[in-house]
Structure 1
Amino acid sequence: MDHDLTPRAALPDDPRELAILWRNRFLQLFDHLPLPIAVCEAAGHIMVVNRAMGTELGVLPGQLSGRKILDLLRPQGNRPLRPVVEAVRLHRRSQYPIEVLWTAADGAERQGELTIEPVSDLPDEGPKLLLWLRVLERSTAAPTARPPERVSPIEARILAAAARGATTAQIAGEVGLTAAGVNYHLTSLTRRWHVPNRTALVACAYITGVLAPDVWPPSPSSADLPSG
């Protein structure tokens, strides 16, 4: 019996179409991986990141597109990117770990190892950069803003909808409130958690466990959150 997940008849014969098919499937799957991952152009501009990377940096994944990854993850050491530049120029395929620092969503400084690997969809295309981040050290200093461990059930539902990218009107329809009611809860949360905007609010919700870190679409970490 053929146990292939994809029927052979459904696979395209053209190698280029087959490469595109598997690339699209990869992009669908990698967003659910817990390891922070990014795909960048050869010059370092972000093409796509997964939710784990967005959460670590405190920015929604879609808002990172086009930014330079090394403006966010700061390389350490003397010319650490030289081997990567040579690999891209010569189309070498290997992995290059570098030490980086960054400011996490909770305001604390993080230290970690960023592994960079040149990849490409097709042999005759210029390489892209696949990057994944491993946190080596978390600051023991108290974060600048520590949200409470618990929120009310309605607040948790609002945060989950906001993390999915829903508008205020869409959130209102989902939770049975007016738009003004939703804004009231969002404003209350931003004041209680001392964050400047909705993006930081969502990041804090993930970091503190209010939202489950390993499911999509976003949902509260518990189906029955006690009121806080």
Structure 2
Amino acid sequence: MYPTDSAIVWRNRTLRLLDHVPMPMAVCEYAGRILIVNRAMAAEFGLLTGQLHHRKILEFFTLRGSAAETLPALAEAVRKHRRSQYAVGVSWTAGDGTERQGEMDVALVSDTPEQTPNLLLALRAFADPPAGPPAEEPAPAEPRTEVSATEARILAAAARGATTAQIAREIGLTRDGVNYHLTRLSRRWHVPNRTALVARAYTYGVLAPDAWPPEPA
């Protein structure tokens, strides 16, 4: 087997291996030309792997964040043949047209220490941001102010200071029936006790403001 044949075999093995890796990955020359790319990386753009070969990686990604500081350090590492790894913020347009952001891990790899390193790229996509700011909760609805005739009579009696038993005898209800109406009104008007309930009844115009003893408006 000739050396070139051996290189082709190893390249094909590398491709098969990378295609089983779920993380988007690629190998580029230092100048950015794509040499090897796996299916996960091509899928980010809705393309086949062959459609990315020999194209510049920066055709697909925009550098952001601290990239301005990272690139000179990366160039220096390549010049000195260091085996270093860097993280670069990137953004890109996915195959479905959505804008995405993530981080690209850039590792320098080569067969020999003297060889100019290639770039091994591994992409980590950030979780998609929410489509927009959370919707504001609607303002609570104003409580319903109208009452039945029985409820109005119960409120008038409560405003006079009548007890539950006295109200029950006056209205012709059981004590439980009176408490049922008072509890339902308290919940509807969001008040904690009978005193506040009577005050709210005057505020809503349920009780006549100038009458004594109290009576329905």
Q: Deviations over 1:65-109 (max 9, x none)?
A: 122112211111251312111111111101100111001111111
CA separation in 1, counterparts of 2:24 and 2:119? 14
Q: Kindly state the Cα deviation for residue 122 of structure 1 after the two structures are TM-superposed.
A: 3.0
Contact preservation (8 Å) 2:24, 2:124: yes
Contact preservation (8 Å) 2:81, 2:113: no
Match of 1:105 in 2: 95
Match of 1:46 in 2: 34
Contact preservation (8 Å) 1:109, 1:138: no
Helix, strand or coil for the counterpart of 1:88?
helix
Please tell me whether residue 138 in structure 1 is matched to residue 128 in structure 2. Answer: yes
Question: Unpaired runs of 5+ in structure 2?
Answer: 133-217
Match of 2:84 in 1: 94
RMSD of Structure 2 on Structure 1 (CA): 2.6
Match of 2:60 in 1: 72
- TM-score using structure 1 length: 0.50
Contact preservation (8 Å) 2:25, 2:40: yes
Instruction: Rate the CA distance shift 1:57–1:94 in 2: closer, same or farther, 3 A.
Output: same
CA separation in 2, counterparts of 1:27 and 1:121? 17
1:34 to 8, 13, 22: 22
- TM-score using structure 2 length: 0.53
Number of aligned residues? 129
CA separation in 2, counterparts of 1:122 and 1:31? 25
Q: Which has the higher contact order (CA 8 A, sep 6+)?
A: 1
Contact preservation (8 Å) 2:25, 2:120: yes
Contact preservation (8 Å) 2:15, 2:37: no
CA separation in 1, counterparts of 2:129 and 2:47? 20
Instruction: Rate the CA distance shift 1:23–1:48 in 2: closer, same or farther, 3 A.
Output: closer
Q: Kindly state the Cα deviation for residue 39 of structure 1 after the two structures are TM-superposed.
A: 0.5
Larger Rg: 2
Question: Unpaired runs of 5+ in structure 1?
Answer: 1-11, 143-228
1:124 to 68, 89, 114: 114
Letter in 1 for 2:87: P
